[in-house]
Amino acid sequence: MSVVDILKQADIFYDFTQSQLELIASICSEKEYEYGDTIFAEHGASDELYIVVDGEVEIQVDPGLIKGKAGSSQTIAVVRRGQSFGEMALLDEGRRSASARSGATGARLVGIPRDKLIALCEAYPKLGYRLMYNVAVDLSMKIRNADIQIREQLLWNKENKPGQ
């Protein structure tokens, strides 16, 4: 399967033309990870987004980092074939908000460097507009899912407190 074919399956490249996909494919690199390999760490540098080709990636947060003591990470999402992660790196150069590690089946990914993708967006404004629109839709969906998880957690905590 070519990189262009992989990009065609990714939600963030929905409605891209063949030539736009080829431009993006020219800056991509393929990467493979074994089970448990760290792809990037929470609070690490943010300079690349990823598309899952095969396998799965666990997105994890370490609640202990809030208190200044690293603890055990918790998986908050699992990303599979055709899905993207690390896309906040496109919008800012802030630190990673979570860790990503290869799931039980390992993972084959396509990495897309921020600086090269931004250069393409500037050189080809239609490509840039479509990409940023699709990223906004993707992030909106992820925020909605996080909102549901937060509400469920709050409801569960309220229902399970003694004396409530």
Answer whether 49's CB lies under 8 Å from 114's CB. Answer: yes
Q: How far apart are CA 71 and CA 6, in angstroms?
A: 36
Q: How far apart are CA 71 and CA 91, in angstroms?
A: 29
Token pair for residue 81?
């074939």
Output the pLDDT for position 70.
61
Output the pLDDT for position 88.
82
Q: What tens digit of pLDDT does each residue of 113-146 get? A: 999 999 999 999 999 999 999 999 988 988 898 8
DSSP 116: H
Output the pLDDT for position 127.
96
**Which domains does the chain carry?**
3-159 (2.60.120.10)
| Residues forming a β-bridge with 15 | none
- Quick one: which H or E segment has residue 111? strand 99-113
Output the pLDDT for position 97.
86
pLDDT tens for the chain, residues 1 to 164: 899 999 999 989 999 999 999 999 999 999 999 999 999 998 888 889 999 999 999 999 887 766 666 667 888 889 999 999 998 877 887 788 899 999 988 999 999 999 999 999 999 999 999 999 999 998 898 889 888 888 887 877 766 666 55
Token pair for residue 22?
């080829």
Output the pLDDT for position 63.
77
Neighbours of 107 (CB within 10 A): 27
Output the pLDDT for position 56.
96
Q: Give whole-number Cα distances, 40 to 44, 99, 102, 132, in Å.
A: 7, 6, 10, 23
